[in-house]
Amino acid sequence: MEKDYHNFAVIPGDLNGITVTDAALKVADAVQDKLTLPVKHEIFNYDAAYFLKHDIKELRDSELNELKQYDQIFLGAIGDPTKIKPGILEIGILLKIRQEFDQYVNLRPVVLPEGVPSIIVGKDYRHINFEICRENSEGLYVAKGEVKNAGTDDEVGIQEMHCSYKGVKRLAEFAEERARARKKGDKPELHFVFKNNVLTYAASPWSRVFEEYKQKDDLNISYMHIDAFIMQMVLKPEQFDVVITENMFGDITTDLGAVIQGGMGTAVSGNLNPTGTFPSMFEPIHGTAPDKWFEMDGSEYIPDTFVPEKVQLVKPEAALLSYAMMLEQSKEVKAADAIKEAVLANLRDKEYATKSLDTLVDQVCESVKR
């Protein structure tokens, strides 16, 4: 039987993650009338406290199997360094879900909205409008390697980069579809970004897929080294339409992408399983911002030093846009567009920087109800 509602799993996470998830759920509530099917949200408190309580280092099969029942997953942000050493939750929740659910594309648009000033002099919304499709299942993120001769002068840390032909090819296929749908220029443009002058083994499948794609007459296909790419992102961002790159390269370039499109508080991320075998996961790319939650003693965060009023300084836009991306993937275009439009109005607001979280969220809720 066809389901008559959308079934979304929600993982608020820690600190700022909880704050922005609350904001997203308020907006979800406000936009209800624009949906074609109702939405149900189930909250999963997979956070630092949960990991401590159950004494686990990663989500277990039972938790993963439960999450697999949902249509999509919304994630706030995870990590609380006063409870758990950084790295554990990131690997045990975020990377675990990306892997286990075969979310092999991390779609990260780099789109500066019209009316929002760029930090790059002379560039505006007409120049900064492209998408990075980050390979999200392999590359340097396969967590393989070893430490040889640990503790001696001959210690060597080895981290493996796995790039498979199938992995690059399915990413390119996804990106090709995006480029065709975007219709940015006369011909859809696909940039392959890697470092094939040095990483010669891992480059082999990248070059092979690149050569195959060059045969397609109705696409413009180019290649750029990663170092040249980050320079060109700033110098001439208008040349890009859809970009595909290795996992770690995609991680690094999308932080730069966030900054040139209006800041970390605007950047969204869809961890996609395009085949639909497992749910996809949507998250703002900012983290939990522990520096805003705790006083510091040297480089250590001091637990329980949070001042509740500070929550009002949090900006919810990236989370709201991620929620909108999730709705879009669920074919709820009207509701997604309403959220996007309302968020844009916030970002264009001259008073934006000084407005409180509650005000910003209220403005979006009012707008999407109209």
Q: Which positions touch ligand IPM (CB under 6 A)?
A: 90, 94-95, 251, 285
Q: Which is nearer to ligand IPM, 325 or 335 (CB)?
A: 325
Q: Least separation, in Å, of the C-beta of 94 and ligand IPM? A: 5
Decide whether 35 or 88 has the Cβ nearer to ligand IPM: 88
Q: Closest CB to ligand IPM among 78 and 175?
A: 78
Residue in 251, 283, 317, 332 binding Mn ion, rule: CB under 5 A: 251
Work out what residue 90 binds among ligand IPM, Mn ion, none; the CB cut-off runs from 5 to 8 Å by kind: ligand IPM
CB of 117 to ligand IPM, least distance (A): 25
The number of helices, as runs of H, and strands, as runs of E, in the chain is 12, 14
Residue 328 binds what, of Mn ion, ligand IPM, none (CB under 5 to 8 Å, by partner type)? Answer: none
Query: Rounded CA gap, 5 and 141, in Å?
Result: 35
Q: Any bridge partners for residue 242, and if so which?
A: 131, 190
Q: Closest CB to ligand IPM among 43 and 252?
A: 252
Which residue, chain included where needed, has tokens 């002068």? 153
The neighbour count for residue 64, using CB atoms within 10 Å, is 16
CB of 65 to ligand IPM, least distance (A): 23
The two beta strands, 129-135 and 242-245, are parallel
Contact partner, 94, from ligand IPM, Mn ion, none, Cβ < 5-8 Å per class? ligand IPM
Nearer to ligand IPM, 84 or 285 (CB): 285
The interaxial angle of helices 247-260 and 226-235, nearest 10 deg, is 10
Residue 173: name its binding partner from ligand IPM, Mn ion, none (Cβ under 5 to 8 Å by kind).
Answer: none
Sheet holding 268-272, edge to edge: 39-43, 6-13, 72-77, 280-284, 268-272, 105-111, 129-135, 242-245, 189-194, 220-225
Least separation in angstroms between residue 291's CB and ligand IPM is 15
- State the nearest-atom distance from the C-beta of 201 to ligand IPM, in Å: 22
In the complex, least distance from residue 28 CB atom to ligand IPM, rounded to whole angstroms: 22
- Strand blocks (E) in the chain: 6-13, 39-43, 72-77, 105-111, 129-135, 145-148, 156-159, 189-194, 220-225, 242-245, 268-272, 280-284, 295-297, 300-302
Q: Which is nearer to Mn ion, 14 or 251 (CB)?
A: 251
| Adjacent-strand bridge partners of 269 | 283
**In Å, how far are 96, 100, 107, 108, 119 from 256, measured between CA atoms?**
25, 28, 15, 11, 11
DSSP 180-195: HHH--SSS-EEEEEE-
Minimum CB–partner distance for residue 258 and Mn ion (Å) = 9
C-beta closer to Mn ion: residue 251 or 283: 251
Residue 176 or 251: the one with the smaller Cβ distance to ligand IPM is 251
Among 6-14, 68-76, 107-115, 250-258, which window interacts with Mn ion (CB under 5 A)?
A: 250-258
Indicate whether 135 belongs to the interface with Mn ion (CB under 5 A): no
Cβ-count burial of 12 within 10 angstroms (0-12 exposed, 13-18 middle, 19+ buried)? buried
| Residue window 209-248: x/- pattern of binding to Mn ion, with contact defined by CB under 5 A | ----------------------------------------
Q: Which residue is nearest to ligand IPM (CB)?
A: 90
* Alpha-carbon Rg for the chain in angstroms: 21
List of residues contacting Mn ion (CB under 5 A): 251
